Amino acid sequence: MREIILDTETTGLDPAKGHRIIEIGCVELLNAIPTGETFHVYMDPERDIPEEAFRVHGLSAEFLAGKPVFAKIAGDFLTFAGDAKIIAHNAEFDLRFLNAELAFLDLEPIAGDRVIDTLALARRKFPGAANSLDALCVRYGIDTSRRTKHGALLDAEILAEVYAELTGGRQAHLVFGEGAGVIGSGGTSLLAQRPHPLPSRLSPDDLSRHSAFVATLGGTPLWNAYLFPQALARKEKQA
């Protein structure tokens, strides 16, 4: 499954008051794992940058002068996003701005049911707790030392780590027994399965010495449960 982690920086808080997007940062995930593909662009908002906004992201009108306007990058952004799910923190904010910019160009808006809000996920998981991006990074031990100012691509990269923690996407479980393998989120195997197992490279002497070692462990070693689950079950039933 393809997903896009997205963050924006803007000139203010409300597109209805003439505020514009000045930076977009996106990180591509495939089956919950970053692929290394990103989309990042600065834009000229064709207006001033209020001081309070500058203090947040450090992007000045002088720096943005000469950068492309949203209309010039809209096609590239939409192509990169494709039909993937979009993940954002406080997604309603980013979605309002993106759809306002798309509306200026008479382009279709991004549907709300296509967007996953990590703030909503965090509030369900940690009700009553602080769930800002910074607070979640502290909770999960994610390094934010490089984040001296808000930046769309940097925040998207950090949010990708937070999203993985919120959804368990990076946790793998080792399953013993028939069909054992490494299982990722959603029960999907992360390892390709061979149609025919490779022949064992262990010699009879190797097997004999290993069995002698296992016998010294006492009780019912977990190794036996892996190799001989049915025999072990019969033994425990007879005990």
Domain ends where: 152, 169, 186?
Answer: 169
Task: Give me the helix-helix angle, 70-81 and 91-104, nearest 10°.
Answer: 120
Distance of alpha carbon 164 from alpha carbon 142, whole angstroms: 11
pLDDT in tens, 62-99: 999 999 999 999 999 999 999 999 999 999 999 999 99
CA–CA gap between residue 95 and residue 89 (Å, rounded) = 11
Query: Are 216 and 151 in a shared domain?
Result: no
Which of the two residues, 222 and 22, has the higher pLDDT score? 22
Nearest to 136 by CA among 146, 124, 149, 126: 126
The per-residue pLDDT for 222 is: 64
- The CATH number linked to 107 is 3.30.420.10
Considering the domain architecture, whether residues 118 and 226 belong to the same structural domain is answered as no
Q: How many other CB atoms are found less than 10 A from the CB of residue 173?
A: 10
Does residue 107 sit in the same domain as residue 222? no
- Tens of pLDDT, residue by residue over 159-189, are 999 999 999 855 443 333 444 444 444 444 4
Boundary residue ending a domain (169, 188, 215): 169
32 found inside a domain: yes
Distance CA 233, CA 238 (A): 9
The answer to whether 28 and 13 are in contact (CB under 8 A) is no
* C-alpha of 182 from chain center: 19
Residue 174: inside a domain: no
Average pLDDT of the segment spanning 126-147? 91
Residue 160 pLDDT: 95
38: domain range? 2-169
Q: Are residues 97 and 140 in the same domain?
A: yes
How is residue 189 annotated by DSSP? B
pLDDT in tens, 23-57: 999 999 999 899 999 999 999 999 999 999 999 89
User: Looking at the predicted structure, is the pLDDT value of residue 234 above 60?
Assistant: no
Angle at 7 between CA 6 and CA 10, to 5 degrees: 145
- Share the mean pLDDT of the chain: 83
Give 55's contacts (C-beta < 8 A, 6+ positions apart): none
Residue 175, number of CB atoms within 10 A of its CB: 13
Question: Which of these, 185, 152, 151, 187, lies nearest to 170 by C-alpha position?
Answer: 185
Based on the domain organization, do 77 and 131 belong to the same domain? yes
| 124 shares its domain with 6 | yes
Question: Which amino acid would we find at residue 23?
Answer: E
The proportion of the chain whose per-residue pLDDT surpasses 90, expressed as a percent, equals 64
Give the end of a domain, one of 169, 192, 223: 169
Catalytic residue among 19, 57, 89, 150: 150
The answer to whether position 31 is within a domain reads yes
> How many domains, in total, are found in the chain?
2
Does the residue 182 lie in any domain? no
Dmax of the chain from CA atoms? 81
pTM: predicted TM-score of the whole model, two decimal places = 0.70
Q: Is 233 exposed, middle or buried (0-12, 13-18, 19+ CB in 10 A)?
A: exposed
* Contact status, residue 2 vs residue 84, Cβ threshold 8 Å: yes
Q: Are residues 117 and 219 in the same domain?
A: no
Q: What are phi and psi of 5, to 5 degrees?
A: -85, 130
Q: Is residue 162 part of a domain?
A: yes
Task: Say whether 150 is catalytic.
Answer: yes
Please indicate, yes or no, if residue 185 is contained in any of the structural domains: no
Do 164 and 85 lie in one domain? The reply is yes
